[in-house]
C-alpha cells in the first residue's frame, strides 16, 4: 500500500523549521530502538496461548477504557459497546455494529492522544491509509479482521514485530500466574514478566477484603488471621512472583500517605480491617502502613516499588455497581507527597537497596513536591506522565516542570501502562517524539550540545527504564 496519509511524518515536532530539523535528527537515532515496557496491563494469556485475536472490537475497543469512556461521555451506553454487565444482562454482541458505533463517533477523539495512538495502529500495524469514519467503517472492520487471521498478526509475532525487549504485566497476589508459568516452560524467547500488585489484600475498602486475605493465606501457606502471618504471606507471594520474573511491585492507592506504627497498633488495625470495621480514616492509615511495610520488604528482596497515587477509583457509583471496576470512571484528585511520604522516608529514604518510582495524577505536585523530592532522596525516581497526562502536552509539561530540579536521570524513562497491546509502539513513539522536541529546544538554546542531546534521547527511550526497574 502507499504511504499512510493519516500519520504525518513530522507529527509532534516543533513548527519552527530549525527546531524541527534538530528534532528529526534526534528522533532518527531512537525511532527503531527496542521497546522496554516495564509497567502495563496486557493479558499474559495472549502470549502464552498465542491464539488469533477474535476481531477488531475485542482487540481495540473492549479492553481500552480510554476509548469507551469518551463514547460513554457523549451518551453511548456501555451495553452498546459490548461491555459485559455484572448481572449477565444482554449487551450488544454484533462486533460489526459495535465497530460502526465506534467509527461514527471517531470524531470525538480529535486532538486527543487516543486519536494519535489509534491512527498509528491503523496506519503502521494494518496499513490503512484513509481516515476512519462511517463511510470507511466496514472496510476497516473487514481489513483488520482479515489481518488478524494471518500468522503474522498472532500475539507473539506482533511482539517481535514491535521490537519489544520486555513487557511487564500486572497481577494480583491472588493470581495463580498460570500463564507466566506456561511462558516459562515454553521455548519462545519473548520476555514477559509479572508485577506484584497487592491492592486487593492491602486495601480494607476493596470489595471482599477479608475473603481476599483468607485466600491470600491459603495460596501462601500462612496463617493470615494475625499480623505476623499476614506479613509472612506477602513475603511468600512476593518470592513466588519473583520466580516468575517480577522485578517490581505496584501500589494503586487513593493517597500517597505512609505510616510507621508500632507492631501492636498494626495488629489492632489489621483485626479491625478483617472485621470490616475500619472508618475511612483508619482504612487510609492501614494502606499507609502497608506502603511502609512494602518498602521494608523491597529492602529485603530488591523489588522496585511503584506508587500510583491520586486516583479516585470508580467515581461513577451506578457504573461500578452495573459493570465493576476499570470502566473509565476513575478521576484524578489533589495529592500531597511531602508530608505523606515522610514516615516512609524517615525509615528508608537513605537506604541504598530501595528504589521507589513515584507517579501522580496531580500535575501541580511535579515542580512543587515530586521533582525536589526525587532530586534529593537517592531512593526516589519519578515515573513518566501517567494516565490522564500520558499525552504530548502532558509529556512536555512534565519535562518543563521536573527537569530543572530532578534532571533527566532521576526519571524512569517511559512506560505505556496500557491494556491496548497494539498501541504500545504508538505510545512509545509519541514519548520519543516529544522528548526529541524538548531536547531540540535545549540544543537550540545552547543549553546542551547535539551530542549530549542524542545520548539523552537514547537513554530516555529505553536505558532509564532498564535501570529504574532493574531489568
Alpha-carbon Rg for the chain in angstroms = 23
What is the pLDDT, as a whole number, of residue 326? Answer: 87
What is the pLDDT, as a whole number, of residue 461? Answer: 98
SS3 string, 355-395, reads: CEEEEECCCCHHHHHHHHHHCCCCCEEECCCCHHHCCHHHH
Q: Where are the alpha helices (DSSP H) in 302-341?
A: 317-323
Residue 248 CA to chain centroid, in angstroms? 13
Query: Percent helix, strand and coil across the chain, each rounded to 5?
Result: 50, 10, 40
Domains along the chain with CATH numbers: 17-52+159-468 (3.20.20.140), 53-153 (1.10.2020.10)
What is the pLDDT, as a whole number, of residue 2? Answer: 47
CB 198 within 8 A of CB 249: yes
Q: How many CA atoms lie within 13 A of 241 on its CB side?
A: 30
What is the pLDDT, as a whole number, of residue 30? Answer: 98
What is the pLDDT, as a whole number, of residue 3? Answer: 44
What is the pLDDT, as a whole number, of residue 212? Answer: 98
Residues (pLDDT < 50) of the chain are 1-4
Strands 311-312 and 356-360: unpaired
Which residue do the cell numbers 500463564 mark?
A: 179
pTM metric for this prediction: 0.96
Amino acid at each position: 500500500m502507499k504511504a499512510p496519509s493519516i500519520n504525518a511524518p513530522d507529527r509532534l515536532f516543533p513548527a519552527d523549521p530549525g527546531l524541527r530539523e534538530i528534532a528529526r535528527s534526534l528522533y532518527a537515532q531512537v525511532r527503531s530502538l527496542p521497546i522496554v515496557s516495564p509497567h502495563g496491563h496486557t493479558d499474559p494469556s495472549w502470549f502464552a496461548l498465542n491464539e488469533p485475536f477474535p476481531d477488531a472490537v475485542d482487540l481495540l475497543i473492549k479492553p481500552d477504557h480510554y476509548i469507551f469512556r469518551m463514547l460513554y461521555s457523549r451518551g453511548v451506553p456501555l451495553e452498546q459497546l459490548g461491555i459485559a454487565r455484572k448481572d449477565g444482562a444482554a449487551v450488544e454482541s454484533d462486533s460489526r455494529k459495535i465497530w460502526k458505533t465506534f467509527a461514527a463517533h471517531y470524531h470525538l477523539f480529535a486532538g486527543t492522544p487516543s486519536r494519535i495512538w489509534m491512527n498509528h495502529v491503523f496506519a503502521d500495524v494494518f496499513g490503512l491509509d484513509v481516515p476512519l469514519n462511517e463511510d470507511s467503517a466496514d472496510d476497516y472492520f473487514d481489513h483488520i479482521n482479515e489481518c488478524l487471521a494471518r500468522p503474522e498478526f498472532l500475539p507473539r509475532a506482533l511482539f517481535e514485530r514491535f521490537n519489544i525487549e520486555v513487557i511487564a504485566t500486572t497481577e494480583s497476589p491472588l493470581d495463580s500466574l498460570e500463564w507466566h508459568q506456561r511462558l516459562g516452560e515454553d521455548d519462545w524467547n519473548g520476555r514477559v514478566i509479572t508485577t506484584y500488585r497487592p491492592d486487593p489484600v492491602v486495601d480494607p475498602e476493596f470489595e471482599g477484603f477479608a475473603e481476599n486475605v483468607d485466600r491470600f493465606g491459603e495460596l501462601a501457606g500462612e496463617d493470615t488471621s494475625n499480623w505476623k502471618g499476614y506479613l509472612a504471606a506477602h513475603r511468600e507471594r512476593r518470592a513466588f512472583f519473583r520466580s516468575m520474573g517480577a522485578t517490581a511491585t505496584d501500589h494503586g492507592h487513593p493517597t500517597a500517605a505512609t505510616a510507621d506504627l508500632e507492631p501492636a497498633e498494626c495488629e489492632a488495625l489489621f483485626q479491625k480491617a478483617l472485621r470490616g470495621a475500619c472508618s475511612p480514616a483508619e482504612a487510609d492509615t492501614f494502606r499507609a502502613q502497608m506502603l511502609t511495610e512494602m518498602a521494608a520488604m523491597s529492602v529485603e528482596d530488591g523489588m522496585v516499588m511503584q506508587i500510583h497515587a491520586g486516583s479516585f477509583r470508580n467515581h461513577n457509583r451506578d457504573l461500578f455497581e452495573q459493570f465493576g471496576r476499570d470502566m473509565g470512571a476513575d478521576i484524578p484528585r489533589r495529592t500531597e507527597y511531602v508530608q505523606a511520604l515522610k514516615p516512609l522516608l524517615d525509615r528508608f529514604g537513605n537506604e541504598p537497596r530501595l528504589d521507589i518510582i513515584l507517579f501522580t495524577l496531580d500535575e501541580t505536585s511535579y515542580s512543587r513536591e515530586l521533582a525536589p523530592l526525587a532530586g534529593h532522596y537517592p531512593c526516589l525516581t519519578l515515573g513518566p506522565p501517567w494516565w490522564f497526562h500520558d499525552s504530548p502536552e502532558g509529556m512536555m509539561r512534565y519535562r518543563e516542570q521536573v527537569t530543572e530540579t530532578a534532571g533527566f536521570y532521576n526519571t524512569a524513562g517511559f512506560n505505556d501502562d496500557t491494556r491496548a497491546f497494539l498501541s504500545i509502539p504508538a505510545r512509545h513513539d509519541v514519548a520519543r517524539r516529544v522528548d526529541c522536541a524538548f531536547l531540540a529546544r535545549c540544543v537550540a538554546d545552547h543549553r546542551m550540545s547535539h551530542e549530549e542531546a542524542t545520548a539523552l534521547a537514547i537513554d530516555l527511550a529505553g536505558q532509564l527504564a532498564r535501570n529504574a526497574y532493574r531489568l
